[in-house]
Amino acid sequence: MKSIKILHLYYDLMNLSGEDGNMVAIKDFLDNEGCKYQIDKLSLNDKIDFNKYSFIYIGDGSREAQELARQDILKYKYQLKKVFKDKLILATGNSFELFGSSIDNKECLNLLPFKTLYLKDYVVEEKIVDTDFFNKPVIAFVNRNSEAKIKSNYFLNKDGIHTDNFYGTYFLGPLLIRNPYLLNRFMELLFKKNDMKITSDYKNVDILAYNEYLKNYKK
């Protein structure tokens, strides 16, 4: 059986909002599916070969953590440019800003056509959004003090960016635990990329919690 290889990038730095919960959701899904997989947690000073992985995840971080990640990831700029369109990438919170041209005029990977500027105040909000990505509402929490100047190719209802296999969003939560149908959609993409099919019926308490939240939110 083929093994799915996943990279959790800057797992220790970029975890401000409990974003490693997204990897817990992915791991539980893969365990339930009974497939072989490998999740590598890599960070500063690790030697990284991005070509080994079919899925790369990076979460939200403080401004200071993001700056450390920015400085480190630049050494992989040309390697990432070669594999960028082929890899399934999910970047939540301010981590997706690393893939634009700049953050507060500091050089970034320049793999996506936007720049990021810092804000004076934080944007903090909880909301429900619809999306063309799939046919279920997304439960979204935002807590940011920067803004990516994106003009097109939005990901979730004019939030973040989606191009090729890259999905970037300011939405936190952790996003995939709060949105099991969104998790299923990403797993479908991941399995397809590995020439595999999902075989189990993934229904659990997360879906009950999701439905209960939507019901209470509308009251």
Q: 2-14 pLDDT, tens per residue?
A: 789 999 999 999 9
State the alpha helices, DSSP H only, in the chain: 20-33, 63-73, 77-83, 175-178, 180-193, 205-217
Region 137-160: mean pLDDT is 91
Domains, the chain, ranges and CATH?
A: 3-217 (3.40.50.880)
User: Residue 219 above 60 pLDDT?
Assistant: no
User: Residue 160 above 60 pLDDT?
Assistant: yes
Q: Return the percentage of the chain with pLDDT > 70, whole number.
A: 96
State the alpha helices, DSSP H only, in 57-179: 63-73, 77-83, 175-178
Q: What is the mean pLDDT of the chain?
A: 92
* Strands of the 102-103 sheet, one edge to the other: 106-107, 102-103, 115-129, 138-148
Q: What is the pLDDT of residues 1-56, one digit of tens each?
A: 678 999 999 999 999 988 999 999 999 999 989 899 999 999 998 999 999 999 99
Q: Could you tell me the two tokens for 208?
A: 């009950």
User: Residue 203 above 80 pLDDT?
Assistant: no
